[in-house]
Structure 1
Amino acid sequence: MGQVWTAYDQRLDRRVAVKLLRPDRVAGAADADELRRRFVRECRVTAQVDHPGLVTVHDAGSDSDDLYLVMQYVEGADLADHLAEHEPYPWPWAVTIAAQLCAVLSAVHAVPIVHRDLKPRNVMVKPDGTVTVLDLGVASVLDTDTTRLTHTGSPIGSPAYMSPEQAMGGAVGPYTDLYALGVLLHELLSGDVPFAGSTALGVLHRHLYEPPQPVRQIRPEVPVPLEALVLRLLSKDPQHRPASAQEVYELLAPLLPVRAVPTGPAGPLDPTRPFLRPHAPWPDRVATPPPAQPATPPSNFPKLSASLEQGRPHAGRPDVAGAVDEVKQLLGEGRITQAVDILGSILPVAAEEHGEKSPVVRILRKQYAATLMDDGQYRRALPELRRLAEDRAAESGLADPQALQFRFDAAQCLEQLGEAVAALAEYRAILPYYENAYATGNDPARAFEIRHRAGHLLLALGDHATAQQQLQSLLYDTERAYGPHHPLPVELRRSLERHHEMRRT
């Protein structure tokens, strides 16, 4: 699906890494433009995450048929090579790798972003022992719909590290990355992944139905609590896994090496070094030069936007109308993050000036919520949508189309945040209103979409039988409404055939 090249940034005279993706090799010609759009959006979302354990993204875009991502060049070895060079891998090293990955995943899941393809090849061990995670957001771009297959017929991702809910095409969440972390940790401790096979389908079947071998049966020196944690991470049911990466870190913390200066300097690529000597200088590196004095900005340095300048406390009240015009211009130029900041700054002023219930404030709040969703900031969008839904329902009733739309968007936010149970409950609560609209002759598309999403959430929650029953019923209804060759029934049929094939395997 792509290649990574070493390149040179001629302007700043530095080595960088450039990843090239070929949309035509991943999606059909009709989907290539959509893939490019998702790629740019995902790069914008992932750029919001600031963590030393993530590779820095310098630039992204498209050139002819290629999508490109310009990234920090990371010195070191990927974790797969590191494991091969040090097998059997010391279990304290495995613990420190997992602890560092938990710190990264905690920051990533807070956005929220799900990596979807955490594996040793996507983890670099640097000379100072710290780890860097690669390809954040790339799997999401290639597989926004988790049931989509590439032209090769393989599911997006790596089967050896794929969670049961991914294998079944269910909704993904932070729990998906925790399962992959369990696979990775099992591999570091035992020397092999817990589920292997000669075919991708066979591997996915084992993820779904076979228990993993406890690592102490292979390496008795592994601590009992560490083995128990690996088995929890590899639970088939996401609800039986740890609740968060933070919880996993807390369970790993007692097993981390003691934070004391060792008798000798930590060796190259020693992942325990950050915990033994946190922030200590690398011994064979030259001294860091003193920081340079900040340069005086040139006279033509761009100023902050006018509305933000006016929004400062010492500059008087912001110009709400002017800020709205600027937001429209920014959205037209694709500068969504800046538009979000301006909308968030003018909403309180507009509410004070016009009243919370005024049409102006309602429109601004609706635009704010929609822009937050488009920017991938689901955690911030959720309370805005709930407030909009409650206000609209109080005035126009629960069956009001606009109130239902706000609740649908809120359910999408819950789904993106990995709160599968809450999202499923909200979808089920609003579905009857849309089905009643269908009975009166309106477009059934929204009811079908809700049922489709609910099926994926049931798969994610491990209720495969109910999910397949509901998806089969949805297939019947969509074929009757749209015909057998419409994209939705085609996708449903393919997904159900894949589930049946796994059960036959």
Structure 2
Amino acid sequence: MGDTRLIQGRYRLLDLIGRGGMGEVWRARDESLGRRVAVKCLKPMGPQHDAQFTRVLRERFRREARVAAALQHRGVTVVHDFGEYEGVLYLVMELLEGRNLSQLLEDNRAHPLPVPDIVDITEQVAHALAYTHDQGIVHRDLKPANIMRLGDGTVKICDFGIARLGADIGFTSRLTGTGIAMGTPHYMSPEQIGGQQVDHRSDLYSLGCVLYEIATGAPPFDLDDAWAVLVGHRDTPPEPPRNHRSELPEFFERIVLDLLAKDPEERPGDARELARRITEGRGVPAIPAQPRPPAHRPEQPPSNEPRLPSWTRGMTTGHKAGGTSAALRTTPPDAAAGLTGEWIPRGDTRREQPVPEPERPTPSPELLAVLAGRHNAGLSLGRLGRWEEAGEVHRAVAAEREHALGPDHPDTLSSRYEVGFTLSRTGRAADALREYTRVAEGRERSLGTDHPDTLAARQEVAYVLGQLGRHFEAHQVYLAVLASRERNPRLGPDHPDTLRCRHNLAFNLSRLGRLEDSFRMARDVATARARVLGPEHPDTLVTRYEVAYALGQLGRWNEALQTYREVAEARKTALGADHPDTLAARYEVGISLGRLGRSAEALTLYRDLVEDRARVHGLDHPETLRARHGLGVNLGRMGRWEEALDEARDVCAVRERVLGPEHPDTLVSRREVAVGLGWLGRWADALVEYRRVAAARERVLGVDHPDALASRNDEAHCLEQLGRGAEAVELYRRVAALRQQRGTR
């Protein structure tokens, strides 16, 4: 096949990216949808196969391809289409940019992978297997070459259904006397070797072999002779992985050994249990392995009394992922019957229509109307700020829409998008990230990479990455989305959605410390929004608010104060005096006044703001408490320390009750209590409060977090004031060492 070859007049083959036992894989372009795909062309059977066999094979192919196409999970390769063209069976799949585990081991010169990568891969594969096993599907050929790790760290299992097809072809070939070889034995379960019935636990055993190899650099039974490998799977306990690599966590070794149990009943019950064990084990420090006695190795059965199935005779070891033995990388020609070697499809140029995928029953209009109504009800709950209830509604609607319409239907994805939105609004950013990623992937499959709905989902992915503090990753996503929006003729640089993306990018730049870049971009977006939307449009004012923030971070507080005041006045006119955005701008005016040393003006502003916040939101609302905190800070700046201390204590007590004792805002108030005590000369009491803040920040944020280190500096300063200079010096040194250590990472 060449680069001008079209399959079914739709899939243009561009270049060969892989060749294996069952055929070739091509990078291709779907001319109908304008997207890149991978096309796997399965090799046609030779003339040794009769017409009945070929007919059975094609029917099995169609059946198993439908199985593969029905799988919808981020950990499973997506199958878009399948059919037969000029005598060649083909599959159209998503194009994956990454390396399979076999390639990763080869890239690493057959050395094992890093421990965090191994644990992450295990957890992702476990979730994917849990999903497929729930669908009643067993892979049957799990091995490093069938597990792909993409550039963003996502792990996908490949060849579901097709692996089963290969097993079926092998079985049928044995019946017809062709003697086809059955793959590599390095990852086969004992029940597979014995020719017994297999279920999902066979996949778990194969996964154990894969994990053993990527963790130690070699499969559990790394032998040159196929018979010895098979006997090892059947009779020999594997050597514990930590005997080869002591830094492996103990919980991981226990999991691998449980997966490699000879009896399926002794393995984990299912992949979901495996995923749970991995999740629970994450973060457990590895303990150096203790010397272990050699594993007992039962004698192998005499060669004249084989207990292995007859079809294993003459079997070669095949190609395992790791190792350098040439014997393990060479397959004799007679082991390649039917599915290996060079091939070129021949025949006439007549085209067949692709075999249609089974259609989902059309849901009734009544059901769709009910689901649309419930979706709108969820939106209404969100507008009322009842995010938990809205999330429950959207989750239920998403599940029903997926059942009725399919996982990639726009309505299903719309509901999932709203699920992500509610998760983001309720502080569950990690869950929101998973949901938005799922929506983005689904929309990319069904609508295309540059569709506005796909870009909207990807933009939300960037937003929640920022919420999680992963600002560099967020920056990369924002840049990609912005480039797509600007080159899209339906959008362009001045489209409101493009401007929203540029605004978010400016916000994220400031969190990366790129303050000048953030200021310039925010200023440009504010100008564009004023031109496109109007100077008092809420979006324009949001960006001007960001301009003011950037000015303050750059120390240009007079300009920041002027901008915040203009935003506050404009919001008062457009939104009303009591709107939360208006009140937020007034709070920032107070911050700017305080930074400029105009504390008397700030104090008056904060007293009015506290009154307004309490009237609108209540006395215990976090924003009311934030305004009271600002009031207390400015009392201190004016030297009114008794009043400042009383205010700080009151705010700290309410925050502890409402937000919790280790909430960041609570700790800020507790530090303000310590500051007041210090200014009043009560250094012993201040030391107690400073230490409480430092200990809590270390528990929550880590010992080398900047806020925790700042608290320890406060403690050292307090020790100096108490005349405990030696302790203060020692603490200053410890803080300096932690800062240096953090800076070198």
Aligned-residue offset at 1:3: 1.3
Structure 1 residue 134: Cα displacement: 0.8
Cα distance, 1:197 vs structure 2: 2.8
Q: Is contact 2:170-2:180 (8 Å) kept?
A: no
Q: Which residue identity is paired with 2:270?
A: S
Aligned to 1:437: none
Deviation at 1:65, TM superposition (A): 2.6
**CA distance in 2 between partners of 1:241 and 1:256 (Å):** 20
Structure-to-structure mapping, 1:80-159, within 5 angstroms? 80-86=102-108, 87-144=111-168, 147-148=171-172, 153-159=179-185
**Structure-2 separation of matches of 1:72 and 1:84:** 24
Structure 2 match to 1:189: 215
Separation (CA, whole Å) in 1 of partners of 2:273 and 2:189: 19
Provide the secondary structure at the position in 2 that maps to 1:36. Answer: helix
* Gap change, CA 1:10 and 1:27, over 3 Å in 2: farther
Q: C-alpha displacement at 1:251, in angstroms? A: 1.0
From 58, 64, 70, the counterpart of 2:92: 70
Which of these residues, 78, 82, 94, is aligned with residue 56 of structure 1? Answer: 78
* SS of alignment partner, residue 70 of structure 2: coil
Give the deviation of 1:281 after TM superposition: 4.3
Q: Do structure 1's residue 228 and structure 2's residue 254 form an aligned pair?
A: yes
Deviates more, 1:19-28 or 1:142-151: 142-151
Q: Deviations over 1:186-233 (max 9, x none)?
A: 001110001133343332222111211110110111122211111110
Which amino acid letter does the alignment assign opposite residue 3 of structure 1? E
Q: Does the C-alpha gap of structure 1 residues 280 and 73 become closer, same or farther in structure 2, counting only changes over 3 Å?
A: farther
Q: Provide the C-alpha distance between the structure 2 equivalents of 1:57 and 1:278, rounded to a whole number of angstroms.
A: 32
178-187 or 150-159, which deviates more:
150-159
* 1:320-367 CA-partner distances (Å, limit 9, x unpaired): xxxxxxxxxxxxxxxxxxxxxxxxxxxxxxxxxxxxxxxxxxxxxxxx
Contact 1:115 1:139 in 2 (8 A): yes
Residues 36, 189 of structure 1: alpha-carbon distance in 2 compared, 3 angstrom cutoff: same
- Alpha carbons of structure 1 residues 144 and 77: separation in structure 2 relative to 1, 3 Å: same
Instruction: Find out whether 1:172 has 2:193 as its counterpart.
Output: no
Q: Do the aligned partners of residues 161 and 56 (structure 1) sit closer, same or farther apart at CA in structure 2, a change above 3 Å counting?
A: same
1:29-48, aligned counterparts within 5 Å?
Answer: 29=50, 30-48=52-70
Aligned partner (choices 28, 45, 62) of residue 24 of structure 1: 45
For residue 160 of structure 1, what is the aligned residue in structure 2? Answer: 186
Kept in 1, the 8 Å contact 2:123–2:275? The answer is: yes
Aligned partner letter, 1:162: M
Q: What code does the residue aligned with 2:278 have?
A: L
Q: Distance in 2 between matches of 1:188 and 1:153?
A: 32
CA 1:176–1:37 in structure 2 vs 1: closer, same or farther (change >3 Å)? same
Going from structure 1 to structure 2, the CA distance change for 1:145 and 1:25 (only over 3 Å counts) comes to closer
2:92 counterpart letter in structure 1: V
- Is the CA contact (8 Å cut-off) linking 2:98 and 2:150 kept in structure 1? yes
Counterpart of 1:137, as a letter, is G
CA distance in 2, matches of 1:60, 1:149: 23
1:160-206 CA distances to partner (integer Å, 9 max, x unpaired)?
A: 11111111111111001100110011001110001133343332222
Q: Partner of 1:55: helix, strand, or coil?
A: coil
Aligned twin of 1:14? 35
Whole-angstrom CA distance in 1 between matches of 2:43 and 2:171:
20
Q: Compute the displacement of 1:260 (Å).
A: 11
Structure 2 CA distance for aligned equivalents of residues 85 and 206 of structure 1 = 28
Q: Which amino acid is the alignment partner of residue 141 of structure 1?
A: L
- In 1, distance between residues paired with 2:252 and 2:159? 27
Percent of pairs with identical residues: 41
1:445-473: CA deviation from partner (whole Å, max 9, x where unpaired):
xxxxxxxxxxxxxxxxxxxxxxxxxxxxx
Question: Which residue pairs with 2:23 in the alignment?
Answer: 2
* Structure 1: distance between partners of 2:47 and 2:470: 42
What secondary structure is seen at the aligned counterpart in 2 of 1:7? strand
C-alpha spacing 1:176/1:283, structure 2 compared with 1 (3 Å)? farther
Find the aligned partners of 1:153 and 1:50 in 2 and give their Cα distance.
Answer: 35
Distance 1:252 1:149, change over 3 A: farther
Is the aligned partner of 1:206 residue 2:232?
A: yes
Corresponding residue for 2:276?
250
Unaligned runs of 5+ in 2: 1-21, 285-427, 431-464, 491-745
Partner Cα separation in structure 1 for residue 107 and residue 84 of structure 2: 37
4+ residue runs of structure 1 moved beyond 6 angstroms? 258-261, 276-280
Kept in 2, the 8 Å contact 1:149–1:155? The answer is no
User: SS at the partner of 1:156?
Assistant: coil
Contact 1:128/1:282 (<8 A) preserved: no
Q: How many equivalent pairs are there?
A: 281
Q: CA deviation at 1:21?
A: 1.2
- 1:288 is aligned to 2:481: yes
* 1:361 equivalent in structure 2: none
Between the aligned partners of 2:106 and 2:56, the Cα distance in structure 1 is 39
TM-score by length of 1: 0.51
Code of the aligned partner of 2:481: T
- Are the structure 2 counterparts of residues 278 and 70 from structure 1 closer, same or farther at C-alpha, using a change threshold of 3 Å? farther
Letter in 2 for 1:139: A
Residue type at the aligned position of 2:129: L
Structure 1 CA distance for aligned equivalents of residues 270 and 246 of structure 2: 28
**Greater Cα shift, 80-89 or 28-37:** 80-89
* Residue in structure 2 matched with residue 329 of structure 1 by the alignment: none
Distance 2:54 2:469 in 1: 48
The question of whether the paired residues in 2 share the 8 Å contact of 1:183 and 1:193 is answered with yes
Larger gyration radius, structure 1 or structure 2: 2
Q: C-alpha deviations, 1:350-407, integer Å up to 9, x for none?
A: xxxxxxxxxxxxxxxxxxxxxxxxxxxxxxxxxxxxxxxxxxxxxxxxxxxxxxxxxx
Q: How far did residue 143 of structure 1 move?
A: 2.3
Cα drift, residue 27 of structure 1 = 8.5
Contact residue 100 and residue 149 of structure 2 kept, 8 A: yes
SS at match of 2:84: strand
CA distance in 2, matches of 1:127, 1:3: 23
Q: Is the 1:21–1:68 contact (alpha carbons within 8 Å) kept by the matching residues of 2?
A: yes
Q: Which moves more between the two structures, 80-89 or 9-18?
A: 80-89
Q: Secondary structure at the match of 1:47?
A: helix
**Aligned equivalents of 1:91, 1:122: Cα separation in 2:** 20
Task: Tell me how far 1:145 sits from its aligned partner.
Answer: 8.2
Structure 2 matches for 1:335-484, cutoff 5 A?
A: none
Post-superposition offset of 1:144: 3.5
The AA in structure 2 aligned to 1:32 is T
CA RMSD of aligned residues (A): 3.2
Q: Distance in 1 between matches of 2:86 and 2:206?
A: 34
Q: Report the equivalent of 1:409.
A: none
Contact 2:69 2:80 in 1 (8 A): no
Q: Secondary structure at the match of 1:129?
A: coil
CA distance in 2, matches of 1:83, 1:241: 26
